[in-house]
Chains A and B, each alone.
Chain A
Amino acid sequence: MQRFLDPHVLSSISGLELIAKTVVQGFVSGLHRSPDFGFSQEFAEYRAYAEGDDLRHVDWNVFARSERMYLKRYRGETNTQLTILLDASASMAYGSHKVNKLDYARYLTASITYLSGQQRDGAGIVIFDDEIRDYVQPSGRAGQFARILHAIEKAAPGTRTDFAKPFFHCQNFLHRKGIIVVVSDFYEDPEIVVKTMEPMRFHGNEIVLFHVLDPQEIRPLIKDPALVLDMETGETMEVTPDYVRTEYTAKIDAHIAALRERAQRSGIDCVLIDTSKPLDDALRSYLLLRQGRV
């Protein structure tokens, strides 16, 4: 089952729903061998009844057997709300192999949405570039998964990335606290990225940043001097292999580290996703973060 999590294999499957199910079921079947993992609606412990406790939480089956009153406690007794912000800017269309960043982000988004649906969590999605391109309000109703998948399916590479404007609008949409997952390549100053998200974080939302990058973006392979075209701005620049090997690599590494560090400082989780790696790595990172929060 694990081999179906390879992005190259997934790209040959048509239909995001099938991809999401394949990913999540494959991932969950892998989890059975790891009992340490769990999430919010799982049973947590029994506690002796004390005065003032709500009688609704008493485990009457136990009382019938033992005539003692125990309260059954769960982790995360309440449903949470998941909002995914998917960057569909032009730069997300870049890919050095069969699956580009936007495709990978689609699979990831669909998989997380399916996962939350399994937990009865409400989910919604915002697709943005420098504007909000599509918005599906978070909800736990039946058919919500299909609506989200439709929005993801429609997402096409747009123009430039601008975090400020879409996130400002998101603050208006999101009245209820929940989890906000941002999937983007974050070609922006980490300070600006985090600053645009801090208000939502301070509002009580949990924010997870999926920093999606192609392996060529992390370690570009250019053998000869070349003219490079910015896919968002159309600007061209002549670059040399020597520069790419040394300075560019240092800069991108610093950028990744700065984003993570700056996000952590604001209580935001940041996960680097390599589009050449299987999807379960991304899901595992997400769930580890979630577990840590609970």
Chain B
Amino acid sequence: MGFLSPWFLGGLLAVGLPIYVHLLRQHKSNPLPFSSLMFFERRTQSSVKHRRLKYLALLLMRCALLILLALLFAKPYISRAVTGDAQGRKMLLVAVDNSFSMRAGTRMADAKAKALEALGSFRPGDRGQVIAFASGAQLLTEPVTDLNELRAAINGIQVGDGRSAYGEIARVIRTLVPPDGMPVEAHVITDGQKTSMPVPFSELAVSPGTKLTVHSVVNREEPNWYVEAVHAPRSVFQPKKVRVQAVVAGAGVETPTETNVTLLLNGKTLESKKVTVPPFGRATLDFYLPDAAYGMNKGEVRIDSRDKLAADDVFPFSIERKEAQRVLVVHEPGRTRAADYYKAALESTPDTGFAVDTATSDQAANLDVKKYPFVVLADTVVNLNDYMKAGGSVLVAAGSNLAARGNVLGMKVDAARYAARNAERFYAAGDVDEAHPSVAKAGKFENVKFYQVVQLDPSNGRVVAKLTDGSPLLVERTVGTGRLLVFASTFDNIANDLPLHAAFVPFVEQSALYLSGSDAASAQYMVDSFVDLKGGGEIMGPDGQRALSLAEAAKSPAFRLTKEGYWEVRRPNGNHELIAVHSDRRESDLTPVAADTLALWQSTGKANPAAGGAAGEPGEKPYSIWWYVLVALLAAAVIESIFAGKYLNQEQAQPLTRKQAA
């Protein structure tokens, strides 16, 4: 018998409590009042002693209760000969690592050879199962008795681009339910990467009784150079050189190494540079793309290395060259200050790709606003309800003109408030929700003085920023599929001095990106990450084939990117995205795990030596007996309740005590 959590046996110390209460504490007996002891005589049989004897049964029950509780928590088990393998049968599990690092040299072929070798212990009557694992496990067969099927499954394993996780394969082995209660013999064939180890070692534990063998196909550390990262803009709007930054690293490299780094765009070599990678370090170098063609561009950074893992010598990225987006700013006739300030701010950041058109409210009524990703209303009103329901977004700067009208696009706007000369003199921004993209880079509008603000009705909306008196400064509301962002003051440098402050340009830029939907996720993804497919869309794989059928794409909220390369996403609104997917560069670090760590992992299948059991020995399997302990615990609890109730009732129901002194 052993315990899976023997430290809970410390709870046995609690047995001292009832012993103290029952035996060591002075026993007190409630005397029964009686008229006179004239006719009583002291007798040798002590009532107290007698009662103590009676309470011994109760004491024993209480002690048993605590002991069983401690045992229950300690998870006891007994080692018994496995009933299912009377004929010596077993469940043979072969798990082969097919992660990205297995592309190095002949690792995959070696792993398959080891896996086939592991099948040598397969006997008639045994069950076998083959699993390929990286970040997740893929069951290639059911538990079968056909050796040829297992061999075919092993031979069919293809190396992938995922990152191996030993915690995941350990979880699969742990949760495996072998048929007929057979003992499990698991073989894990891997390259033993250090980066694949989980942070808590306990995640590697397999069930007691599982005979685990970890076969490493690598027995020494191998140097590896790789492109660790490439930083390139997702979109470019101007015909100018674009900077592309590449990071080249070396793992297990002990001497400085010079290597050639090449930038390619659409398969065409643009530039090559030499860089020296320091020992166990990384080097950074910049390229300048001369002029990318309009549309999607497939780029890659490549190094010339002589290591065994060539797949990580290339790092893909994508760049889209497109025209700047037009933004419409509508103002009242003759009041162009706000539009001028907004235009100047937005066009001062050309990398964001916006150009501003201005129009008066009368002119805007005749314009086709659908071509604009968003519209700015500078203290004026244009009927944009249909535009917003169709997905358009609007930024409103509300001043006295809107306050006089009472509402804008369904949001109530109350009278404008002026900071009184004899009171506050000006308002300042208070709480700012920096999680909101539009103000993420604008700070907290420090030192901005608001002299005139309107009172916004924040119901059904999100208050992004507040003034110090708690009134809303910036409110967002969703209308249809569009967004409405209302600023409680103007951009004209009269109602406030925001346009003169450093917060103005980031606010204008970020709110423009947010409202136009250009702040979406990056164009670079890692293998096994997910791309958002909410609202539908088509996804094409690196091989140019549909990764999902149309029905699947319509239902799937997200798609897992399983391969390196360029993926294309076609959104329902006509937008196309080119996504460059690269492998997790932790796979490029080929440093192997220490042999004793692997040995420790293998030993997790054996019983706890402290418990004195030998559950890990072949032919024996631990059987948990917590269920029986639980039943015994419940029985003890019931008996204890009966005893306690009985004694308690006796004390209370003594006839002589029914009436005491008046």
Contacts and interface: CB of A to CB of B under 8 A. Distances in A.
B31 A236 contact: yes
Contact of A235 (B37, B39, B48, B659): B37
Contact of B650 (A91, A94, A100, A224): A224
A218 to B, nearest CB: 11
B268 interface: no
B35 A222 contact: no
Q: Which of B29, B32, B42 has the most CB of A within 10 A?
A: B32
B658 A239 contact: no
Contacts of B148: none
Interface string A81-97: 00000000011111111
Interface string A217-256: 1001111111111111101111110010001100110010
B244 to A, nearest CB: 96
A225 B42 CA distance: 11
Nearest to A214: B35
B47 A231 contact: no
B449 to A, nearest CB: 85
A137 interface: no
Given A220-B656, A240-B43, A228 B37 contact: yes
A157 B661 contact: yes
A135 interface: no
A127 to B, nearest CB: 15
A185 interface: yes
Contact of B35 (A91, A225, A247): A91
B287 to A, nearest CB: 99
B46 interface: yes
Given A239-B47, A243-B41, A97 B36 contact: no
B654 interface: yes
B650 A227 contact: no
Interface of A: 90-98, 100-103, 157, 185, 187, 214, 216-217, 220-233, 235-240, 243, 247-248, 251-252, 255
A223 B33 CA distance: 15
A20 B48 CA distance: 46
A94 B36 CA distance: 9
Interface string B42-58: 11011110110000000
Contacts of B47: 224-227, 238-240
B662 interface: yes
A209 B130 CA distance: 106
A162 to B, nearest CB: 13
Contacts, number: 125
A240 B45 contact: yes
Contacts of B42: 237-239
B659 A217 contact: no
Given A91-B35, A247-B41, A248-B40, A227 B659 contact: no
B33 A94 contact: yes
B48 A231 contact: no
A213 to B, nearest CB: 8
Given A225-B51, A227-B31, A240-B47, A252 B39 contact: yes
9 contacts: A97-B658, A157-B661, A220-B34, A223-B654, A226-B29, A226-B32, A232-B36, A239-B42, A240-B47
A233 B129 CA distance: 88
A252 to B, nearest CB: 5
B39 A94 contact: no
Given A220-B656, A229-B33, A187 B662 contact: no
Contacts of A220: 34, 655-656
A251 B41 CA distance: 11
A96 B40 contact: no
A121 B39 CA distance: 39
Contacts of A232: 35-36
A102 B662 contact: yes
Contacts of B650: 223-224
A103 B41 contact: no
A230 B37 contact: yes
A228 B659 contact: no
A90 B658 CA distance: 17
A229 B38 contact: no
B653 to A, nearest CB: 9
Given A216-B656, A236-B31, A238-B48, A157 B43 contact: no
Given A96-B656, A216-B656, A103 B662 contact: yes
Contacts of B43: 238-240, 243
Given A103-B662, A225-B47, A251-B39, A231 B33 contact: yes
Given A216-B656, A225-B47, 9 more contacts: A91-B36, A185-B36, A220-B655, A223-B650, A223-B654, A224-B650, A226-B32, A238-B45, A240-B47
A98 B659 contact: yes
A183 to B, nearest CB: 15
A31 B40 CA distance: 42
B35 A229 contact: no
A238 B46 contact: yes
Given A94-B35, A95-B659, A222-B654, A228 B46 contact: no
Given A238-B47, A239-B43, A100 B37 contact: no
Q: Which of B29, B39, B48 has the most CB of A within 10 A?
A: B39
A94 B655 CA distance: 12
A233 B32 contact: no
A17 to B, nearest CB: 20
A83 to B, nearest CB: 25
A93 B662 contact: yes
Contacts of A225: 45-47, 50-51
Contacts of A101: 35
A98 B659 CA distance: 7
